[in-house]
């Protein structure tokens, strides 16, 4: 150890600085690799849920005010590649508005029992419910961790708690946001927004290969 220190002291200052910079650069690369390989997709999911929540707020306001509802839904769904469904929860969930711009090959298919289940979940969670469904348990675990880390931020974090569900019947990862909308006339509408979020996995795999 003493010999190593003595040799290190004899090295030129420029060489020492170069070694320190290389060590620092290596540490930064390792940190970036860990983040991009394990947390990039999870943070993307959290950011996307926040975006969908904001879109749902605009749609809900349009429904409550009864102003350009179909046009508002059409614009938001087409611009953000979403599927939007509005039901009359007072008449056995009769479909009032629907607009599907999500990827048909990965979009979530909703059955009547699914709609009722999401309504119950929203009712049990203060009128709002956000969930991510996936057939990959490891991916769900990473997203739960990233969600806990993301709660420290304010701008890009969804206000609703994000729930994670394992669903072996799905070939892709999907997000569902449900919102119970109270109307001035005492009636009630139920909004569901779905979006497939699997395509980012291709980008993550490319980044892993590059690193």
Residues 135 and 155 in one domain: yes
Same domain, 93 and 16: no
pLDDT band at 186 (very low <50, low <70, confident <90, very high): confident
Say whether both 80 and 16 belong to one domain. Answer: no
Q: What φ, ψ does residue 200 adopt, rounded to 5°? A: -65, -20
Instruction: For residues 67 and 45, state if they share a domain.
Output: yes
- Categorize the per-residue pLDDT at 136 as very low, low, confident or very high, splitting at 50, 70 and 90: low
Residues 90, 47, single domain; the answer is yes
17 and 44 both lie in a single domain: no
86 near 73, Cβ under 8 Å?
yes
Which domain range does residue 24 map to? Answer: 2-33
Model confidence over 81-98: pLDDT tens digits?
999 999 998 888 899 999
Q: What is the largest CA-CA distance in the chain?
A: 86
Q: Does 120 lie in the same domain as 16?
A: no
> What's the pLDDT at 140?
53
Residues above pLDDT 70, as percent of the chain:
68
Same domain for 27 and 97: no
**One domain, residues 17 and 79:** no
Q: Are strands 128-134 and 174-182 parallel, antiparallel or unpaired?
A: antiparallel
User: Is residue 60 over pLDDT 60?
Assistant: yes
Comparing 38-52, 62-76, 151-165, 177-191, the range with the smallest average pLDDT is: 151-165
> Is 72 within 8 Å of 59 (Cβ atoms)?
yes
Q: Quick one: pLDDT at residue 151?
A: 47
Count: domains in the chain: 2
Question: For every residue of 159-205, which 3-state class applies, written as one string?
Answer: CCCEEEEECCCCCCCEEEEEEEEECCCCCEEEEEEEEECCCHHHHHH
Domain holding 116: CATH number? Answer: 3.30.450.20
What pLDDT is attached to residue 109? 83
Of 81, 95, 87, the residue nearest 195 (C-alpha): 81
Q: Nearest 5°: phi and psi at 93?
A: 55, 50
Contacts (Cβ under 8 Å, ≥6 apart) of 99: 70, 73, 74, 77, 78, 82, 83, 84
Burial of 23 (0-12, 13-18, 19+ CB in 10 A): exposed
Question: Is residue 26 located within the same domain as residue 83?
Answer: no
pLDDT for residue 171: 61
- The answer on 114 and 19 residing in a single domain is no
Q: How many CB atoms lie within 10 A of CB 118?
A: 21
Same domain, 23 and 47: no
């Amino acid at each position: 150890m003493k010999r190593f220190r003595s040799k290190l002291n004899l090295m030129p200052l420029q060489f020492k600085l170069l070694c320190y910079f290389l060590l620092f650069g290596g540490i930064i690369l390792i940190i970036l690799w860990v983040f991009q390989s394990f947390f990039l997709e999870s943070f993307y999911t959290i950011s996307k849920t926040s975006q969908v929540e904001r879109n749902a707020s605009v749609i809900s306001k349009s429904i409550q005010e009864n102003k350009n509802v179909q046009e508002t839904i059409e614009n938001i769904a087409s611009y953000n590649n979403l599927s939007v469904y509005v039901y009359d929860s007072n008449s056995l969930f009769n479909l009032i508005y629907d607009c599907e711009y999500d990827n048909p090959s990965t979009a979530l298919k909703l059955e009547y029992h699914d709609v009722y289940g999401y309504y119950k979940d929203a009712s049990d969670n203060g009128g709002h419910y956000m969930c991510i469904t996936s057939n990959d348990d490891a991916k769900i675990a990473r997203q739960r961790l990233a969600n806990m880390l993301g709660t420290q931020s304010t701008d890009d974090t969804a206000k609703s708690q994000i729930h994670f569900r394992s669903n072996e019947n799905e070939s892709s990862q999907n997000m569902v946001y449900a919102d119970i909308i109270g109307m001035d006339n005492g009636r009630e509408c139920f909004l569901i927004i779905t979006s497939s979020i699997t395509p980012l996995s291709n980008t993550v795999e490319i980044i892993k290969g590059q690193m």
